[in-house]
Structure 1
Amino acid sequence: MNIYLFLCLLGSFWWNVVSDRIPCGKSFVPCQPDALSANIQPRVYGVQNTQVKRSQIPEPLIRVAAHEARLEVEKVFNESGIKPLDYRHPAIVSIREYNWLHPIEQHMKDNSLSAYVSTLISRKLKQLGLKEADLLNGLSKTGLEESALGEICPRPATQTCLATSYRSFSGQCNNVQNPLWGTSLEPMQRLAIPAYADGIMSPREAKSGNSLPNARKLSLELFSNPFERHSSVTEMAAYWFHFVATDIGEVVPNQCLLKGLSVSLPCCLSGFSHPDCDQIDIPASDSFYKRVGVSCLPHSRTLPAPREDCQLGHREQANKVSSFIDASPIYGSSKETAQALRAHGSGRLQTSSYFGLYDLLPTDLNSGHYCQSDDPKKKCFASGSTDVNLLPGISAIHTLWLRQHNHLVDKLKEVNRHWSDEKLYEEARRIVIAQIQHITYTEMLPVIIGHENMKAFDVITAESDFESGYDVQIDATALNEFVTLASTLAFSWIANEAKRPFSEQFNNPNRLYEHFGLERVLQELFSDRAEKHGLKISEEFRGKFLKSKISGVGLDLIAMTLKQERDHGLPSYVSMRRHCGLSKLYTFNDLREIVSESYVADKMSNLYETVEDIDLLVGVMAEKPTKGSFVGPTLACIIGNQFYKTRRGDRFWYENFFAPSAFTAEQLAQIRRTSLARVICDLTDISEIQPHTFMTQDAYENVAIPCDSTVFPPMEMSAWIDPEAPLQLPITSETIQKVVQLAEKNRQEQRKRESQNIRRNQRSFQKGDPLFAYSSMMRAKKEAKEIAQVSEILLESTRILFRGETLPDGEEIPALDITSLQNILPNIDVSTFVANYTAFLSEDGQATADECLPKMLPCDHTSRYRTYSGWCNNLKFPHYGNAFTPLRHLTPPVYDD
């Protein structure tokens, strides 16, 4: 009994030691219900598909509507006769720069075709009296697939989501149950129900049905120049917010593709008509634009994206980048972009140099079209996102993280000299992403939304060990409300610079080419105070955005954002407040209590018909910040919901504990040492800095300290030491592929000989023969034979390598001893050379491999029951003991050969 009690206590102690590192949560042991936590749980929803029975829409009606819609859309898609905007337009330079800032590619246009058709079908059916709920739930899937829409609906390639160590560039397969959630070029989500004028696709109008106030007029009459800086928040908060916002989302306006180049739709051209034209009309009283003869600024609607299976419904906008915080501004959101930025062979990213300056961003050889540098040798830079040159502060942050990637590669190579180019690149990328996530949630968010909102929206990170809050049911797809407003909000928090107007810095890299230029720019970001949140933004963004040096005019970012939010069908400010559970507003007098300046309410009442019409951007910028927060409650609601989704819906989140993508406990502890101040110290010649760079220096908790201080120590890379260097096979993967092909040929010939021998020598079994009974009992299924055939091919490949045979093309294979082969061969991935087997574990043999052997799924640690295949029995090594994996030997095998 004493021994039994001892064993129980020992087992209990072991479990406590392990589980103490992983708190309760969605992906581990469920937490006990807590009334307080239930009340503060963020409300994340869009339009819900109610599961109710509805009458089926007749398929002939669907086919007719689809046919008509496709003809209309294809007519619009024919851009052969479109002429570019007149080069004499005073803002032509700015318009071209904006196109380069948000370029469009052919595959994006092709992807949007079905979205245009599906929304047009939806509008046609709605005009016949159907509701949107009918379009979502009353349609036959077969009817859509067999219509003109089904012919052009993109069919994503079936992809098995494997349990990989590294995330994809596009975001695909982050969620293994819904591989397209958060993927680039997929539709964004919404926090609130869309407010399209026609319920489907027309830009939002006033509650009365009239047009909303002119966007340029609102920009002129409501927005003022910055006039009051914040007492304790630095401009680093604004620039970092912009950096992270562009990592989460980017939208692209519809454009023409003429000879492969993005060209703005000539929406201001007399006689030109296009359903996506949404030009900005200039009021007659606008002296700034009228003096140069501008009465209209071209502006087009955002490119839409199709829903999964091209379902009908309201228009949704495409997110050009992945929705996760995955450092896409540095690496890109596609494999092609990432490859173009790499310095292949070393794990590093490409850099450039200029007269004694090193480790600058690589240059964009095609930047002559938009770069505003006076010196042709000082080219604009290339990075993972196209806004890298927009302002020197943005370029500086990109440069910082390019250097951090290469710095990490060098440090990883010091402790793991055997690591390959790919391994070094991916591990450094993984650490960079983790550090950006950590800085965003521990340094930026507390400043922007405050500690109380951090708690309310569950975005406080753990201080030690792992997190278990990942929820496979949470869609991390970017919120439309956040993406549409974020960049403009960030620019509104930057104070005016009298010495260097913004209009002289747009797409001008000159400051980064100065000696200590990077250091001076960064010093300004963490030293200069940010502008207080309010209904204000520099006039450099309201008429001089991307300014032409010739005409002296540019674009109006505020007017463009107002147009964009109406185009996206974003709800009004009052509707969003209501959605966030805040106090309701009925009159403009109610508005006086919640805006920073009461006179703003009077201005709004003169411009808008009712308080219900106020644009979301206008309302959230005018709103008074809450105590302890940089922004007001409505904006905190949008930001809080976005960052809740971003964290809880990311399978690769740095605090998660899922194998094989998780950091070790030791590595995670080192990542938590990260601070933006430490990164700046490591990578620049700045010698001292305050520990919290998003807050101004003070004489107490945030005094500037030397970079060699132990207050913020650097990461210890010993946590990444790989204890054993794998042996390398002295042949290429191409040779391996040829060996496998030869092995397959050898096995086919061997099976042919075996069949002939059996037919010639095997006597027929007689009924009652014990061999007949035995063979029937042990007969393998067809699928089992297929698995065995794969094994035979791999075994024959091993024999060929061991014997050192000459391949059919004459290539000599070096002789290798069996001990080396046994150590090397199991680490070679030949999955692309050998066909996968089919699943056969289900009764009818129709189950998929995913259902029978769900290797792609992260382990569900909340399940009480074991899986049928044995997958995830071991949390750290989920494949241990899995069905249809090889048996293990207790001692090395002693086969005769």
Structure 2
Amino acid sequence: CNNVRRPFIGAAGQPLSRLFPSPTYADNGLGVQPRRQISQFGGGSNAGGGELPSVRQISLELFQNPKETNPFGVNEIVAYWLYFVGSDLVNIAPNQCLIKGTSVAFPCCTPGFAHADCDPIDIPSSDPIYGPAHITCIPHSRTLPAPRDQCALGPREQANHVSSFLDGSQIYGSSYETLERLRAPGESGRLLISNNENNLLTLDPLSSDYCQSPDKQKQRCFLSGTPDVNLLAGITLLHTIWVRQHNKLADGLREMNRHWNGDRIFNEARRIVIAQMQHITYAEFLPILLGIDAVRKFQLNLTPPGSFSSDYDIDVDATTLNEFATIVIPVAFSLLQSINNSSTTTTTNLFNNPSRLYEQQGVEQLVSELHSRQAERPGLKIDLNFRGHFLQSNTANVGLDLISIALKQERDHGLPSYNLMRVNCGLEKLQSFGEMRLILINESVADQLATIYEHVDDIDLLVGVLAERPLKGAFLSQTLSCIIGRQFQRTKIGDRYWYENFFAPSAFSEEQLAQIKKTTWARVLCNVTNIKQIQLSSFLHSDIFENTPLPCESSILPNFDLEPWRDPESPLRLPITDETIKKVVQLAELNLQEQRRREARNIQKNQSTLRFGDPLFAYSNMMRAKPHSKAHARVSAILLESTRIFASGQKLVDGEQLPSLDIDSLQRLLPNIEVGRFVSNYTAFLSEDGQATKDDCLPRLLPCDHSSRYRTFSGWCNNLKYPHYGNAFTPLRHLLHPAYDDGFDAPRSRARSGRPLPSPRRISNAVHIDREIVHAKFTHMFIFYNL
């Protein structure tokens, strides 16, 4: 429901979107066969339909170890931030089998095993890593598909298992079940942390199955919103930073607004965290990654301080792009320096090993390391740990090849070739490998590409965007900037909850927005770690000129002020418990049962049966209540009786004395008491036949179909924010506060002087005199039309 016109857009479990209009599958676009055939692009010498080159061959022959840091001063934290926001926007998973509740990869390399989604990676016997281990095949299966929009028939699409919005799903999860495992119990509004002095993430109870820390008992892996939290220490660090930030905000909000409950504290802290993540990404990260020109081109600029944005467009589909989803992870890891050159970490303890964070000052050491070490210069480079040792455990000699997997996924998803994506981005189509020399980082790569691919149209997207030369003033290549720029353009303009948007109720106030826009990554790090100093432009390497390290106490790093979140007035709270409320509702039930028995006896004794011709019979027949109205009236009766009991301050059945308050205080307090969860216990009593259910007696909180062009018969969902407004069987509204004699229910009967109001019959006789005065303009139709 982020998009009220198309509620499923961007929701977890929905199919990824595409930049290229149609998938380029090998079977005429249906998606049954993932591999693209050369003939599909028409131009290769083998234009009859040969297969594309082996993904492992591409990984071995084109990709090198990192060996050259970038000349732009970009820190390695940029690589981790790209991965971090990427995991917020997308999570794709391969098809697997379920054995005793556990997902297990298909044994696609086992002789005799066959499955339509098996797409194994073939390994040559001469492979330098897998050959000595006698591995000739790596199991691989296709990505889980997702139903197309409105279950339409058509080509295969891939499911995104997280929301497509920049909403902190990697921290909070994309389901209530995940959130329940991460949120601290009670009314603190905090996220869980592990019980240790380092203030780390909560522990994963199942981490022993995969955790590679040296001491699995004392240094267990962590739990977060996405399962990749332990993949690398830098990724775990970012999760830790933002969980700490959430808890710091929650503590501040709870101290400032002690009347807020845990849900209010949690949701407001989460809302601020999401806004700060969005602001840092667009204000600090993207201008470095894409360059100022691309930021302007793709409308990624933020509004000036003190200004709201009106860029939201309900027609923009914010669903994560398939092209972005498939290449973002290998692109991020390609920006890391060689592992062996950057630290003492070895292959066997690199992945799923959180031990560094358990060290004394481990978080601070990692922060310093990632913000002082320069990122690798973009290109066809990625550390060998990702090309044969990816996810390698302590008990294995080899791991997986991330590049081979990424290329398999790219073809599996039917993504366009590099050349077709260039055209989609408005760039010139390449006609030959020789022409490619003009746009590559290294001209000699064109010769390597020519020996592997039959035609320039066959070059895989990931290979092309990494080989392409970056634009002037940008860190990444032009085609890659196009993909990432378009993704973040949709993420910003297509998000109804974008932090700069002006429309209520999701909008921040002007004062709150001003505080959000003061947020910097440097200040967040200072607030939640014990570092002493940090450069202001934290995604860039420090220098002695414009980006010298500043002490955390510096006024140049402004603090985030929660004062705009202070409630101007704390509402009164009635000093009673849920148990007391339950007893009041029970007493109200007993009182109403006795009242109904008295009414029945009095009617039988004093009221004769109405006959035809009797005006009372005609009146009662015309004003007869519908069954639903009677059910709602009985709900109102039990609520009103409960209100009377509270107002009277009487003793309850067990002798408990209710607090005695003046009528003004009660009128302010009682409407805030929610008793629906107790009324549901007495719904049988509320109906005439004793068979009512809660749904019969209480409003049904059904989801709205925002895309419907027709009205509902009851008026439900006419107002998207408050679906019950104007709905049938809901209370009438007052222009002024009700003027009951007892403040709640008793009809008004006294004049200002304190004497009884005049009889209605007397007023009728005095005011409504029958005179034959004919209006000069209006006919009787005017009267009946208004009835």
TM-score category of the 2 structures, normalised to the smaller one: 0.7 to 0.9
1:548 maps to 2:393: yes
- Aligned with 1:705: secondary structure? strand
1:691 maps to 2:529: no
Q: 1:178 to 1:783 in 2, by over 3 A?
A: farther
Indicate the residue corresponding to 1:350 in structure 2.
Answer: 192
1: distance between equivalents of 2:90 and 2:586?
A: 44
Aligned equivalent of 1:203, options 34, 37, 49: 34
User: How big is the shift at 1:723?
Assistant: 2.0
1:374 maps to 2:222: no
Indicate the residue corresponding to 1:224 in structure 2.
Answer: 64
1:475 maps to 2:320: no
Say if 2:170 and 2:226, in contact at 8 Å, map to a contact too.
yes
Structure 1 residue ranges without an equivalent (≥5): 1-172, 858-867, 872-882
Indicate the residue corresponding to 1:409 in structure 2.
Answer: 250
Alignment of 1:67-86 (within 5 A): none
CA offsets 1:140-183 (integer angstroms, 9 cap, x no match)? xxxxxxxxxxxxxxxxxxxxxxxxxxxxxxxxx22233222211
Q: 1:180 to 1:830 in 2, by over 3 A?
A: farther
User: How big is the shift at 1:847?
Assistant: 2.6
Indicate the residue corresponding to 2:86 in structure 1.
Answer: 245
Indicate the residue corresponding to 1:88 in structure 2.
Answer: none
- Aligned with 1:257: secondary structure? strand
Q: 1:337 to 1:783 in 2, by over 3 A?
A: same
What is the letter of the counterpart of residue 314 of structure 1? P
Q: Percent identity?
A: 51
1:485 maps to 2:319: no
CA offsets 1:89-131 (integer angstroms, 9 cap, x no match)? xxxxxxxxxxxxxxxxxxxxxxxxxxxxxxxxxxxxxxxxxxx
Comparing 301-310 and 267-276, the one that deviates more: 301-310
What is the letter of the counterpart of residue 701 of structure 1? E
What is the letter of the counterpart of residue 459 of structure 1? L
Say if 1:176 and 1:856, in contact at 8 Å, map to a contact too.
no
- Aligned with 2:502: secondary structure? coil
User: How big is the shift at 1:358?
Assistant: 2.7
2: distance between equivalents of 1:442 and 1:762?
A: 80
Indicate the residue corresponding to 1:429 in structure 2.
Answer: 270
1:177 maps to 2:5: yes
Q: 1:813 to 1:244 in 2, by over 3 A?
A: farther
Aligned equivalent of 2:713, options 847, 854, 870: 847
Alignment of 1:745-760 (within 5 A): none
User: How big is the shift at 1:824?
Assistant: 2.2
Q: 1:886 to 1:528 in 2, by over 3 A?
A: same
User: How big is the shift at 1:823?
Assistant: 2.0
Alignment of 1:388-787 (within 5 A): 388-463=229-304, 464-497=306-339, 498=341, 499-501=343-345, 503=347, 504-733=349-578, 736=581, 761=607, 764=610
Q: Which has the larger radius of gyration?
A: 2
Structure 2 residue ranges without an equivalent (≥5): 40-48, 681-696, 703-709, 747-787
Aligned equivalent of 2:671, options 811, 826, 831: 826
User: How big is the shift at 1:465?
Assistant: 2.3
2: distance between equivalents of 1:647 and 1:581?
A: 22
CA offsets 1:541-584 (integer angstroms, 9 cap, x no match)? 00011123344211100000001111111111111111122111
User: How big is the shift at 1:791?
Assistant: 3.9
Indicate the residue corresponding to 1:895 in structure 2.
Answer: 742
Say if 1:783 and 1:838, in contact at 8 Å, map to a contact too.
no
User: How big is the shift at 1:224?
Assistant: 1.2
Q: 1:631 to 1:725 in 2, by over 3 A?
A: same
What is the letter of the counterpart of residue 194 of structure 1? P
User: How big is the shift at 1:204?
Assistant: 3.2
CA offsets 1:385-440 (integer angstroms, 9 cap, x no match)? 11111111111111111111111122222322222222222211111111111101
Alignment of 1:314-393 (within 5 A): 314-345=155-186, 346-354=188-196, 357-376=197-216, 377-393=218-234
Q: 1:856 to 1:537 in 2, by over 3 A?
A: farther
- Aligned with 1:533: secondary structure? coil
Q: 1:235 to 1:791 in 2, by over 3 A?
A: same
Say if 1:278 and 1:298, in contact at 8 Å, map to a contact too.
yes
Alignment of 1:5-154 (within 5 A): none
What is the letter of the counterpart of residue 500 of structure 1? T
**What's the C-alpha RMSD, in Å, of the aligned pairs?**
3.1
1:190 maps to 2:190: no
2: distance between equivalents of 1:787 and 1:475?
A: 41
1: distance between equivalents of 2:473 and 2:294?
A: 9
2: distance between equivalents of 1:736 and 1:567?
A: 59
Q: 1:605 to 1:765 in 2, by over 3 A?
A: farther
1: distance between equivalents of 2:408 and 2:713?
A: 50
User: How big is the shift at 1:825?
Assistant: 2.6
Aligned equivalent of 1:302, options 113, 122, 143: 143
Say if 1:351 and 1:359, in contact at 8 Å, map to a contact too.
yes
What is the letter of the counterpart of residue 761 of structure 1? Q
- Aligned with 1:481: secondary structure? helix
1:835 maps to 2:698: yes
Say if 1:850 and 1:856, in contact at 8 Å, map to a contact too.
no
User: How big is the shift at 1:664?
Assistant: 1.2
- Aligned with 2:198: secondary structure? strand
- Aligned with 1:531: secondary structure? coil
1: distance between equivalents of 2:400 and 2:465?
A: 22
CA offsets 1:700-730 (integer angstroms, 9 cap, x no match)? 3212111111112101111111122223344
- Aligned with 2:98: secondary structure? strand
